Amino acid sequence: MSEPNSFDRFARQWLPLLEAEMRSQLAHPDAVVAQHYQMMHYHMGWVDESFRPGAFGTGKRIRPLLCLLACAAVGGDPALALPAASAVEILHNFSLIHDDIEDGDETRRHRPTVWKVWGVPQAINAGDGMFALAFAALLSSRGWGVAEGALVAALTRFAACCAALTEGQHLDLRFEQEESVSVADYLRMIEGKTASLVAASLSIGALLGGASRECDNALYRFGLHIGLAFQIRDDILGIWGDPAVTGKAAGNDILRRKKSLPLLYALEEPTVSQQLMRRLGEPLAESDLPGLLNLLAAANAQAFAEDAVRTHHQQGLTALQEALGAAALCSPLGVLADDLLLRQA
């Protein structure tokens, strides 16, 4: 539809304020250490390699928007949650800087990664700086009239989420080296690496907005489920997505042997497991794709993954309703959950 939905309208209203808040949280304290902060600004998409201002790719800022939306949904003023929303986006970007080093990725959003431009030591340290500044941003909510008890609860969620992120990344790095990975361990990995920050973003916004413990817990569960649904949908698109829409080659993730949910599920299916394992052990060309996709089809891998997305989406909506009542299903949070389920790229 060409009419912007309620999530898009909310985003259009709050994104400029969020961006200004993040710039203020990442401002350098004095000229001596300016470069430390300018590397962060580069990664955030605000400056080029010579630190000249410009408009570069910034990501969609979904997590901070969820934080602001949750605050509004429980009856709080989203402006109260701007430092917290900055905190979750700064944390997300810290993790991307370190992921790029750990995975050896040389580009992100069509530009060289921080380590590629300034070297691994400074990039590790710039990431650490953002990690610290994410906590400082959340703590700066104190000046905005947030109750101290709510702030401590939000910080506790945030710290637990940071630990979960590193657990997820630990598993992701280990899985690359391991022969076989179980579906259960894979789900644990994406829960830590993706879903926990989506859930924490919602929880933190709700806590600062004055949510009850029950409402906060239900929104956290909503976040976990839509985070998992989002990631599994991503796995599906990586194999069966339309190249014209995703911008990636058909079957891309299969030919790269990426350990995503459909493949790991098929590898656990006794009927195809041995044959699939053998084929993945051989060199792969594009001509191997139909055969591999046939094996995935024989294992019902796509149906399993689509079903997982639907289940998590449904469980998420149930939690959202528990948190905020049936009307929430038509609120921007419900709209966003539906969009994530239906997305094609």
Residues that bind a second copy (CB under 8 A): 29, 32-33, 35-36, 98, 101-103, 120-122, 124-126, 128-129, 131-133, 135-136, 139, 142, 148-149, 151-152, 155-156, 158-160, 162-163, 165-167, 169-171, 173-174, 185, 188
CB of 201 to a second copy, least distance (A): 16
CB of 189 to a second copy, least distance (A): 9
Q: Are 98 and 128 in contact (CB under 8 A)?
A: no
Q: Considering beta carbons, is residue 165 or 333 the nearer one to a second copy?
A: 165
CB of 226 to a second copy, least distance (A): 23
40 CB-side CA count, 13 A: 28
CB of 267 to a second copy, least distance (A): 18
Q: Considering beta carbons, is residue 133 or 254 the nearer one to a second copy?
A: 133
Q: What is the Cα–Cα distance from 121 to 284, expressed in whole angstroms?
A: 36
Q: Considering beta carbons, is residue 176 or 242 the nearer one to a second copy?
A: 176
Q: What is the Cα–Cα distance from 200 to 141, expressed in whole angstroms?
A: 16
CB of 322 to a second copy, least distance (A): 26
Structure tokens that stand for 218 in this block: 């239900």
Nearest Cα neighbor of 127 from 70, 61, 43 is 43
Write the DSSP assignment of 30-79 as a string of letters. Answer: SGGGHHHHHHHHHHHTSB-TT--B--------HHHHHHHHHHHHTT--GG
Nearest Cα neighbor of 37 from 117, 135, 127, 121 is 127
Using the structure block, give the residue that is written with the tokens 């493949």. 263
| 3-class secondary structure, 247 | coil
Q: Considering beta carbons, is residue 14 or 115 the nearer one to a second copy?
A: 115
Q: Considering beta carbons, is residue 137 or 276 the nearer one to a second copy?
A: 137
CB of 280 to a second copy, least distance (A): 23
Q: Considering beta carbons, is residue 103 or 242 the nearer one to a second copy?
A: 103
